[in-house]
Amino acid sequence: MSQAAQTLGEYPERDGAEMLRIGDLHAFYGESHILHGVDFDVKRGELVTLLGRNGAGRSTTLKAIMNMVGRRTGSIVINGTETLAMKPHRIPRLGVGYCPEERGIFASLDVEENLLLPPTVRSGGMGIDEIYAMFPNLYERRRSQGTRLSGGEQQMLAMARILRTGARMLLLDEITEGLAPVIVQALGEVLVKLKERGMTIVLVEQNFRFAAPLADRHFVMEHGRIIEEISAAELPSRREHLNTLLGV
Amino acid sequence: MTIIFGVPLAVFMGQLMLGLINGAFYALLSLGLAVIFGLLKIINFAHGAQYMLGAFVAMLALEYLGINYWAALLLVPLVVGTLGVVIERLILRRIAHLDHLYGLLLTYGLALILEGTLINIFGVSGSSYPTPEALQGGLNLGFMFLPTYRAWVLVAALVVCGGTWFIIERTRLGAYLRAGTENPALMQAFGVNVPQLITLTYGFGVALAAFAGVLAAPLYPVSPTMGSSLLIVVFAVVVIGGMGSILGAIITGLAMGLIEGLTKVYYPEAANTVIFLVMILVLLLRPAGLFGKEA
């Protein structure tokens, strides 16, 4: 049996089952209360976006899922497992890949070391050849120091390294921020390919024009909670309403 | 007799050799400090005491358990390293979120307790550890006499330093360490158990100190204060090399040993201070150290 089919066995893609369910999630950094009861769910194979203005709590939501914030209450169920009490390093092993806003490329590692760094969490990840085929620039620069890459290449690297691990749900934080349009377009093509492979994706995005054609559903955040859910089908009719919410 | 810059060759080479041996210990100890500082961001003031403990445990093991030098060279770093693991788990981890100064103070306190306890039991005069039979005697190189044990110390220290450098710079585990030094939170988000990595790193750094202690036992008097006097120089070496640089720690350690040896030949009065003079110069010209990265 091919590896892809095995993965399919383990994760029946797009069967409508929940990959992620967040219920009444509160998160705190020290004394400050950042998330005030976030509720949403993501189905297997779905691509959803978290939209909102700066400081609405979108990045914090991703960090809270990874248990990277101070204190959390509520519920975060990943693939049927409640993770609120889990240690941070256990969460990726449920098949979650995280790409932080600051990209987190390691300066003391070269490109290939960066790429090979995250441990494999599940079978069925992309092979290194497959990854280099998807990101040819990275292959050419595999011996360069990680932080010597251009912003776009660093972003490609930050994405590429979580594809190797076998993660089935990707949490991507502002991946198009500060990148040239041609790179943004390339990233869009990568996301389409990942979706075709059945990857579940949660995208925190400022660039709505980038996110709109890719996403199945959009969640709008404000003041640390979800205030609106808009499906791709509803989008044309509610575009103006959404623009008001986002203040664009 | 050959004369180099007004000094007989045998004397010159002899001092150079002594300097290199001292340098090997500086390198081993500053390497351990660098490894620990890299991931834990703690300046391990207990390093000298842990080195001393290595020599002491080797001596006691020989005296009471009949464990010979070669077995001690393997077992003592394991035992003392395990003690390091316990210290990290029980004490250092609890203050990891505080200012790094607390770690420095705490490890300094641990060093004082260890030294004080051993002084109470054994006194300060120190005892000697016999040179293992296979390493007794020496080689006549023609221009100088090289004691076999000193040659062995140099080789062993270089091999361990080189091995440590290889593990950290060239292996996957080393990549975890380097990445964990830069961004531990992200490493956790990749599924790496960073607290465990930290514990093992501290244990490894302590084991390096204990290994140096066993190597030192046949050379120097084994006494509870043997570590604290050495540690001051080692800290100067670390400052010169740059905190956290692995290769920097090794090269600077050896180089400072040599400089000290040369000073002993030409201006013995300054031999004990020359490293600190170098430290002052380096701090003036390159505050981050010779191999350190500017912040």
Residues of A in contact with B247 (CB under 8 A): none
- Name the residue among B175, B186, B190 with its Cβ closest to that of A109: B175
Residues of B in contact with A87 (CB under 8 A): 193
Do A89 and B194 count as a contact with CB atoms less than 8 A apart? yes
pTM, entire model:
0.86
pLDDT band per the 50, 70, 90 thresholds, residue B292: confident
Identify which of B203, B239, B199 has the alpha carbon closest to the alpha carbon of residue B79: B203
Q: What is chain A's mean pLDDT, rounded? A: 89
**How many structural domains comprise chain A?**
1
pLDDT digits (tens, 9 = 90+) for A47-61: 999 999 888 999 999
Rg (CA), chain B: 19
Task: Say yes or no to pLDDT of B101 above 80.
Answer: yes
Give the pLDDT score at A14. Answer: 55
Task: Say yes or no to pLDDT of A7 above 80.
Answer: no
Measured in whole angstroms, the distance separating CA A87 from the mean position of its chain's CA atoms is 20
Is there a contact between B212 and B112 (Cβ–Cβ < 8 Å)?
no
**A182 in reach of chain B (CB within 8 A):** no
CA distances from B208 to B135, B204, B256, B293 (A): 22, 6, 19, 24
Task: Say yes or no to pLDDT of A4 above 60.
Answer: no
Q: State the CATH number of the domain containing residue A189.
A: 3.40.50.300
Task: Say yes or no to pLDDT of B210 above 70.
Answer: yes
pLDDT band per the 50, 70, 90 thresholds, residue A246: confident
Written as one string, the DSSP assignment of A98-154 is: EE-TT----TTSBHHHHHH-SPP-SS-PPPHHHHHHH-HHHHHTTTSBGGGS-HHHH
Task: Give the list of residues 6+ apart from residue B150 with CB closer than 8 angstroms, or none.
Answer: B17, B18, B21, B219
pLDDT digits (tens, 9 = 90+) for B134-184: 888 888 877 778 888 999 999 999 999 999 999 998 898 999 998 998 899
pLDDT band per the 50, 70, 90 thresholds, residue B284: very high
Cα A143 to Cα A85: distance, rounded to the nearest angstrom: 39
Do A92 and B191 count as a contact with CB atoms less than 8 A apart? yes
Residues from B in contact with A at Cβ < 8 Å: 172, 175-176, 178-179, 181-183, 185-186, 188-194
Nearest CA in chain A to B179: A106
Q: Which residue has the higher pLDDT, B27 or A30?
A: B27
Q: What tokens appear for B240 in the block? A: 């010169």
Do B179 and A88 count as a contact with CB atoms less than 8 A apart? no
Q: What average pLDDT does this structure show over B209-226?
A: 94
pLDDT digits (tens, 9 = 90+) for A167-193: 999 999 999 988 999 989 999 999 999
* Residue range(s) defining the domain that contains residue A25: 3-246
Q: What average pLDDT does this structure show over A125-150?
A: 90
Q: What average pLDDT does this structure show over A40-45?
A: 95
Nearest CA in chain A to B190: A118
Beta bridge partners of B146: B139
pLDDT digits (tens, 9 = 90+) for B63-76: 999 999 999 999 99
Give the pLDDT score at A9. Answer: 41
Instruction: Please give the angle made by the CA atoms of B243, B244 and B249, to the nearest 5 degrees.
Output: 80
Domain spans of chain B, in order of start: 16-121+131-285
Give the pLDDT score at A208. Answer: 85
Do B178 and A116 count as a contact with CB atoms less than 8 A apart? no
Give the pLDDT score at A87. Answer: 93
pLDDT band per the 50, 70, 90 thresholds, residue B209: very high
- Expressed in angstroms, the distance from the first to the final Cα of chain B is 51
- Name the residue among B182, B186, B194 with its Cβ closest to that of A107: B182
Q: Which residue has the higher pLDDT, B201 or B271?
A: B201
Q: Worst-scoring range by mean pLDDT, A52-56, A78-82, A121-125?
A: A121-125
Pairing verdict, β A71-78 and A47-52: unpaired
Give the pLDDT score at B214. Answer: 96
pLDDT digits (tens, 9 = 90+) for A199-213: 999 999 988 889 999
Name the CATH topology of B16-121+131-285.
ABC transporter involved in vitamin B12 uptake, BtuC (1.10.3470)
pLDDT band per the 50, 70, 90 thresholds, residue A146: confident
Do B191 and A68 count as a contact with CB atoms less than 8 A apart? no
Residue pairs between chains A and B whose CB atoms are closer than 8 Å: 58
Cα B63 to Cα B227: distance, rounded to the nearest angstrom: 21
Nearest CA in chain A to B192: A89
Give the pLDDT score at A8. Answer: 42
Task: Say yes or no to pLDDT of B295 above 80.
Answer: no
- 3-state SS, residue A199: coil
